Chains A and B, each alone.
Chain A
Amino acid sequence: SAVISQKPSRDICQRGTSLTIQCQVDSQVTMMFWYRQQPGQSLTLIATANQGSEATYESGFVIDKFPISRPNLTFSTLTVSNMSPEDSSIYLCSVERGAVTEAFFGQGTRLTVV
């Protein structure tokens, strides 16, 4: 298994501000993924973050709104920029290790924008 720590676990932010979410993994992984889970909904993939290259964003997500850093093989950050109430969600990071499909998730960051 993989131990994934996310910080902060929750936050309440003013609209127009930005929040950076950190994801720390207990061992080196090639690919890290960021997801958004809106209240009562499924997980939507925001982007894939590989070390040493720019993140790859899914349709509907752009770098200016969700800049991602991946400085090494155990750490990544996701920034939610210029926040609005519509950005209120749980943001989760994920890594894969071992079996091809066995992704591990952090506990998530619950963001409320007021």
Chain B
Amino acid sequence: GENVGLHLPTLSVQEGDNSIINCAYSNSASDYFIWYKQESGKGPQFIIDIRSNMDKRQGQRVTVLLNKTVKHLSLQIAATQPGDSAVYFCADKRDDKIIFGKGTRLHILP
């Protein structure tokens, strides 16, 4: 079935730099796109979402961009910190269900 996938499985970023995590999707019928963060040994934690009729949304240190033309979603983390080390999942919501993509592990270099 249609699902949400990711371009890169791992990303290493210098502390203080900006991180950009990318995601491709195939289901154009999704109502929302969402980013989750999962730290080791914990369940996923909601970061930010974006409605399908928007192209940008900003939160605290994070920005999500949605390009419907090429079916691409990205998460930008400003001034990456050691606490940002985690696996990041993009997901979409459809039919009252949240469907997860494959995940990108973010490594923070000192």
* A interface, CB within 8 angstroms of B: 4, 31, 33, 35, 41-45, 48, 59, 92, 94, 99-108
Contact = CB atoms under 8 A, between A and B. Distances in A.
Given A106-B43, A107-B43, A101 B101 contact: no
B1 to A, nearest CB: 7
| Among A33, A103, A106: residue with most chain B CB under 10 A | A103
Contacts of A101: 32, 34, 46, 49, 93, 98
B100 A107 contact: no
A100 B41 contact: no
Interface in B1-49: 1, 31-32, 34, 41-46, 49
A104 B99 CA distance: 14
Contact of A107 (B31, B42, B49): B42
Interface residues of B, number: 21
Interface of B: 1, 31-32, 34, 41-46, 49, 89, 93, 96-103
A84 B101 CA distance: 26
B49 A102 contact: yes
A43 B92 CA distance: 12
Contacts of A104: 43, 46
B99 A99 contact: no
Contact of A43 (B41, B45, B46, B100): B100
Q: Name the 9 nearest CB pairs between A and B, nearest first.
A: A105-B43, A101-B49, A43-B100, A42-B100, A102-B46, A101-B32, A101-B34, A42-B102, A42-B103
| Among B41, B43, B103: residue with most chain A CB under 10 A | B43
